[in-house]
Structure 1
């Protein structure tokens, strides 16, 4: 006997020591924190705008109302105690045998299946902990249960339990929480009016609500709910055993006809979510934050968690349950006024986006034929350059019909909007070009890849880096990207720092400089990467959630800014200087009259993918970057493309949104802040036609001086090369140089005459106008302060008269990232167009729509 007693003492001591060791790192909550969390029932997370105004409460899976213990039937209180914890009023929150059983279970490997928790422990688990059942969590549960029992009365704990426990479904098919919702949903009465049989039935539900509840998901009575009735009788027997009721009461309650007492089925009312896209975005990001926190608490890395689908789903469910059942507060970066203003503009203008196609398809669930519509969608993001805060966004044109967030969750080909990021920025950073460096725009082929400019045209001349960006010519960009690769410059190192991650194989394809990616990028990614230039070469990670506060008021998450130097401030200035011309006289020149604010310090880039599949405009001021994308989802295997004037359409959308933002808050754009030239940016007077220093060349046996037309070229590192007959244009060939010099010295030839390779009834000027060219549409209102756009002739200034049209690939697509046979790899990897994607003929996907997370279709 002595030995047994000693062994038992050692076991108990070991158990207490084990629990103490596991809980030694647990932060001890204060009485106030525990009180607020224990009372936090029938609540869910609350979402907030940046100014603290509420967006919405999360839609709960549970319906219920908290009441006091005095508002509950005495039978109900006795039934719960007799059924769940007959020693409730005698223990101190836990019983020693529970600790011993938990240790034995842990040793034998079945710790997750241990039961026998006290009412106090169950309340702690529901209100203070997640639903995870690891031994460490069990130890923390025991520790907190003793603390709760110390600070609160038994009646307070019992009240919290009865308000927090779940009781199956009601006659509307809703999951119910708390005895008041159970009484009303099952029997149509208040909890205080429940008779003994009804109280016993409700008290039996928490053990297994889904099995014992009499209603199904539609609120209809089950064909067989006998298990619930049997469970009721067990509860009655335990009450009788504990002397809580008499034998007469026991017999009478067993015979009571509950079937006639159950409520008839009814329809649940639905609530409309006002800010649907924002609601879903904040919910998804808050859920991810909680998943990471839960995993960290269990010693798991989030990166490892994502590799295990089953484990990730487990933590996903836990986090989602907490969000929908506890009063977390999620504070966002979203400016309500700007968010409303941008979305109002899209709603007002969406009728002009393009054709809404209707088609018949099969419902994947029923197999029946249904009529569906495919409108032109929009995804837009307004980003604070300095902080990375998403100030506002547009998720789509109709949340009720499509909850897919086109600003955050769809990946599309960026088209030519990627050129400054992947090609021109790295080229300037490494001193390989200046703003006036010449790039060849002649018919060319790289191992089967034959890019062309807009409308299957070729400019047939040398074009400066500045003009090639302004007019978005493709062949010069391909030649420059190829030159980068030959010099060992890795665009990947720059793109990764800006949050865009592409495969090594994608970087090997020349079409990548025109947007020919496998999956594409999101609007948020593109806006964030582009903001790097406005932020003087520093990339700031974008974010939407500022902080998360748990029910006790403790802040469990606060965003930490992550900044990365990508380009020097000198490179960023030169790129901004060059891209300003896009707005004043290039492919986005329409903005110079559509904007209701000064565009003097605005710079941007257009982009269009294969066959007008996607259209982009990304524009920046000192304060903000706004990106706008339009295109079709093609959900049902269709292959709809935008209209040929989509570049102008998207610019008008962008201008309308920017005007609305400026009207709401002129300061946020900071349009009057100039991009001052930093030290280290060198200006050189170069020959306008060659981009080199003025000098002499040998032509037909004669030495000729070349210095008639001068302009300014901006450099960071490097400098203009000396004048030479050849090698001044990147991608140029001997025949191109001969054509150039013959024309330069007066020979009438085809130099500068635009060639149209494809079949088109439109003139080259019409094609260029469709691409937004200011030079062909009369929208040139240049406010460029830098004289690199001017030409000095014989010590006087005049404007260059170079012919300028716009660009596309040789398959008749606008600013595309793909050609007709490969993308520099020498192989044809073409794939057919599939649902939610568009694939270029070189195997590069023009864009795909992918929905992430779980969207509740009942949110609107």
Structure 2
């Protein structure tokens, strides 16, 4: 019997005949040739198949693993998301206005957030059955059968998350769309989708299908009306497109409206001006209407006859002609804008933090901040959030009443006529003296009330202006005391000067020609001593770190490099809120907390998503420094530049302290004052936005002080407990009291100068120091001054009539005049005054130094070391920086040359 011939090649037969052991051993393949190529092809195919099987298996296993991970992630999201109660969902569902509500403190409503979205709501029984059928056939044909979601929604979300394909969620049920519009943001993340599905299931459980459908028909955005306004809800669309109520919509009209939700901006028939779109663009919406009609016919909602008739209907003739929209005025516009803007900032940072971005990243990345601000704005205008502010309505209203009663006293209102660039018509421009005022709670930093302005929309507590001399306690005297450079009675030079490329005079282009104490220099706000001291401070320590710690961020690096900053000269200046918040540092005992407006934000389901927490206070100054500064600045309101407050205030001013400020040419006038409980700041000035350069009168500083007093009195009558007038700061043990010579500001001693020994008299003052004590008097005892200045002093001390202490005009020394009073008589009088002050200090154990700055009212001061011919000197606060304020038009030049 013949053996059947195999179809295998000799090589295949050989391989097949090998034993298992042999096949496991490496075998060499024959050379590739025409005879062997089938073998190579067969091996290649087998290899590809094997790789394909491995790949499919790995893909399947990986898919299962990824699916398991995502399913677990989905479950964890659901587990971590609180199940909303029916009451919470009902409250949000009924809030069809879908806008955020802003509140004063204590849940007093301010207003709903304004939106260009116009919405009128009606019950479902007042909506045409056609529009109900059209929406269901178009958006969710299985609406009455499913339980709020369909499985494909979850599958689509998983696929989108894994592949990154399908950023548009499309196909969500009507229930899911209601959830997204009323409860959640529009971001398309897996987490939001998971929460959306869970909420939809709960919504379907709590409410009937008709209730859910009614909600959708009342909140869906539907393009623009014939006034160009954005509209939502079928009632608003019916009135705005066709001029009929929702109940009277015809089938063609209902089908058109039902087609709008898919892409309102594309399908709407109107432009932003309210005019009908061109025929080509209008066709998009009409084609969409025909699609809706077909789906209704396919679903059995309409007959073929109805479908054919509706399709043939000329809907364009039903569209309303263009009309003009009327705008409503917003009461409390300053409050509304302030709270709304602050809420956007807070919520944007909250959203960024939720997504894993640090506050530092947010602050440094403008594009990132803008992205989250847009999200925050969308949420506040489309969702029912609740934003509670710190503002006390009673306090705010009281401040506005005081403003109305006093604004005409600030200064002249200027009017001019300009051509409107849009209309070409002449228009009258009115420019009054503006005011920005703010009341802060010292303990928390909460803004209790404010004045945004006399007129207009610009909130003047946020505009930057030259702080004038109100910056001196923050920038100069506070850091000097903190760094043990001075005590309250340390002497400072006020003589003709020439700093590096900069010279300065006191207010009125005067020079005091004497050494005077830090207390007196601050009390009357003399410029020359302040510049000397600032020059010393900035050579010792970084003043920027103090300003940063007090929340002042508007000063530039160039500002800190110039001596004029000591007098308020800067590129931009400070805001009223910055100045007040920094000033409250002294009232707080040397620590600082930022001012804030937003207390709490609650989401549509009642969950608190933001609650202001009192931050850890920043230690800026020691308690000793804060105490000494309080004592020094108390004299501003008792005997200094704001001395008129002592008889204007309706409450005890024992624990009130403050500082005035005036920029060059009276462009900016300030008074910032504190009680133990609150800090109140007031600024007045012109905006000068149109290239004008209006300045205030020489009496305006007094008017601003009067206004501050009126504000303080009125506010105190409403919230007296907030002032905490009896809570004076306890004197820290680190405050050292030292008896110093009234002439040198140092402990008395025998002093040698220019070959002569001077025995200082025993008359003393009490000087306060931050945990240190000075050495005994030396020849060069003051900060600032040159050899000629000291020579003038020591010669005068022995009775020479050399012009020491005689006020001169310009940056030059006084002309020597004969005096009818001997030096010894002058010295004796000074000793008597110093001894008397020392006795008073010992009696009340406060050793309170006197300090004020002469702002705008001429004041007469007796010079402690002046000759009789110079005892009466007129001094008024003035700043002098030699700097141009580039954006505000403010200068601090005085008579000084540029720095």
Normalised TM-score (structure 1)? 0.86
Deviation at 1:494, TM superposition (A): 2.0
Distance 2:99 2:803 in 1: 71
Q: Is structure 2 residue 132 aligned with structure 1 residue 77? A: yes
Deviation at 1:419, TM superposition (A): 0.9
Distance 2:714 2:129 in 1: 61
Aligned partner of residue 219 in structure 1, secondary structure: coil
Deviations 1:47-103 (A, max 9, x none): 222232222222232222333333322211110111112233344444444444445
Distance 2:694 2:404 in 1: 21
Q: Would the alpha carbon gap of residues 523 and 209 (structure 1) be closer, same or farther in structure 2, given more than 3 Å must change?
A: same
Aligned partner of residue 112 in structure 1, secondary structure: coil
Aligned partner of residue 557 in structure 1, secondary structure: strand
Alignment counterpart, residue 425 of structure 1, candidates 437, 462, 478: 478
User: 1:774 matched to which residue of 2?
Assistant: none
Q: Would the alpha carbon gap of residues 141 and 76 (structure 1) be closer, same or farther in structure 2, given more than 3 Å must change?
A: same
Q: Would the alpha carbon gap of residues 571 and 758 (structure 1) be closer, same or farther in structure 2, given more than 3 Å must change?
A: closer
Distance 1:355 1:489 in 2: 43
Once the two structures are superposed, the pairs formed by residues 745-760 of structure 1 within 5 Å of their partners are 745-757=798-810
User: 1:644 matched to which residue of 2?
Assistant: 698
User: 1:779 matched to which residue of 2?
Assistant: none
Deviations 1:347-370 (A, max 9, x none): 221112112222344545556654
Contact 1:384 1:624 (8 Å CA) reproduced: yes
Deviation at 1:331, TM superposition (A): 1.4
Alignment counterpart, residue 446 of structure 2, candidates 384, 389, 392: 389
Once the two structures are superposed, the pairs formed by residues 668-747 of structure 1 within 5 Å of their partners are 668-698=722-752, 703-724=757-778, 726-747=779-800
User: 1:635 matched to which residue of 2?
Assistant: 689
User: 2:823 matched to which residue of 1?
Assistant: none
Distance 2:687 2:500 in 1: 33
Deviations 1:93-118 (A, max 9, x none): 44444444445545554442453333
User: 1:119 matched to which residue of 2?
Assistant: 174
Aligned partner of residue 574 in structure 2, secondary structure: coil
Q: Which runs of 5+ in 2 are unaligned?
A: 1-52, 813-836, 852-861
Task: Decide which moves more: 103-112 or 624-633.
Answer: 103-112
Once the two structures are superposed, the pairs formed by residues 7-406 of structure 1 within 5 Å of their partners are 17-18=69-70, 20-21=72-73, 24-25=76-77, 26-32=80-86, 33-106=88-161, 109-224=164-279, 225-361=282-418, 363=420, 365=422, 370-398=427-455, 402-406=456-460
Distance 1:573 1:304 in 2: 38
Distance 2:152 2:718 in 1: 65
User: 1:516 matched to which residue of 2?
Assistant: 569
Deviation at 1:731, TM superposition (A): 0.6
Distance 1:23 1:40 in 2: 30
Q: Would the alpha carbon gap of residues 315 and 105 (structure 1) be closer, same or farther in structure 2, given more than 3 Å must change?
A: same
Distance 1:297 1:704 in 2: 72
Deviation at 1:426, TM superposition (A): 1.5
Deviations 1:478-519 (A, max 9, x none): 111111233x22222222221113444432322222122222
Aligned partner of residue 497 in structure 2, secondary structure: coil
Once the two structures are superposed, the pairs formed by residues 458-497 of structure 1 within 5 Å of their partners are 458-486=511-539, 488-497=540-549
Aligned partner of residue 410 in structure 1, secondary structure: coil
Distance 2:430 2:702 in 1: 24
User: 2:890 matched to which residue of 1?
Assistant: 838
Deviation at 1:523, TM superposition (A): 0.6
Contact 2:488 2:517 (8 Å CA) reproduced: yes
Contact 2:564 2:892 (8 Å CA) reproduced: no
Aligned partner of residue 412 in structure 1, secondary structure: coil
Contact 1:71 1:192 (8 Å CA) reproduced: yes
Alignment counterpart, residue 650 of structure 2, candidates 592, 596, 601: 596
Task: Decide which moves more: 101-110 or 234-243.
Answer: 101-110
Q: Which runs of 5+ in 1 are unaligned?
A: 760-781, 792-797, 809-813, 820-829, 847-860
Contact 1:205 1:228 (8 Å CA) reproduced: yes
Alignment counterpart, residue 878 of structure 2, candidates 792, 815, 829: 815
Deviations 1:658-687 (A, max 9, x none): 121122233222334434423222222211
Deviation at 1:465, TM superposition (A): 0.4
Task: Decide which moves more: 596-605 or 436-445.
Answer: 596-605
User: 1:769 matched to which residue of 2?
Assistant: none
Distance 2:601 2:454 in 1: 29
Task: Decide which moves more: 472-481 or 538-547.
Answer: 538-547
Q: Is structure 2 residue 634 aligned with structure 1 residue 580? A: yes
Q: Would the alpha carbon gap of residues 197 and 549 (structure 1) be closer, same or farther in structure 2, given more than 3 Å must change?
A: same
Task: Decide which moves more: 553-562 or 659-668.
Answer: 659-668
Contact 1:637 1:835 (8 Å CA) reproduced: no
State which structure, 1 or 2, has the greater radius of gyration over its C-alpha atoms.
Answer: 2
Contact 1:338 1:664 (8 Å CA) reproduced: yes
Deviations 1:323-358 (A, max 9, x none): 122222221211112111112111221112112222
Q: Would the alpha carbon gap of residues 196 and 354 (structure 1) be closer, same or farther in structure 2, given more than 3 Å must change?
A: same
**What's the C-alpha RMSD, in Å, of the aligned pairs?**
3.2
Deviations 1:522-552 (A, max 9, x none): 1111111111111111212211111112222
Aligned partner of residue 478 in structure 1, secondary structure: helix
Task: Decide which moves more: 196-205 or 545-554.
Answer: 545-554
User: 2:465 matched to which residue of 1?
Assistant: 412
Deviations 1:169-206 (A, max 9, x none): 22333222111222222233332222211211110111
Q: Is structure 2 residue 557 aligned with structure 1 residue 557? A: no
Deviations 1:21-59 (A, max 9, x none): 156245233232344334432242222222322222222
Deviation at 1:391, TM superposition (A): 1.1
Contact 1:165 1:206 (8 Å CA) reproduced: yes
Q: Would the alpha carbon gap of residues 251 and 11 (structure 1) be closer, same or farther in structure 2, given more than 3 Å must change?
A: farther
Deviations 1:757-811 (A, max 9, x none): 189xxxxxxxxxxxxxxxxxxxxxx9996555599xxxxxx99586475768xxx
Deviations 1:384-423 (A, max 9, x none): 111211111101001xxx211111x211121111111111
Distance 2:59 2:560 in 1: 68
Distance 2:849 2:97 in 1: 65
Aligned partner of residue 576 in structure 1, secondary structure: helix
Distance 1:836 1:650 in 2: 20
Distance 1:519 1:18 in 2: 53
Distance 2:197 2:365 in 1: 30
Q: Would the alpha carbon gap of residues 237 and 686 (structure 1) be closer, same or farther in structure 2, given more than 3 Å must change?
A: same
Q: Would the alpha carbon gap of residues 215 and 9 (structure 1) be closer, same or farther in structure 2, given more than 3 Å must change?
A: farther
User: 1:527 matched to which residue of 2?
Assistant: 580
Deviation at 1:721, TM superposition (A): 2.8
Normalised TM-score (structure 2)? 0.82
Distance 1:729 1:758 in 2: 20
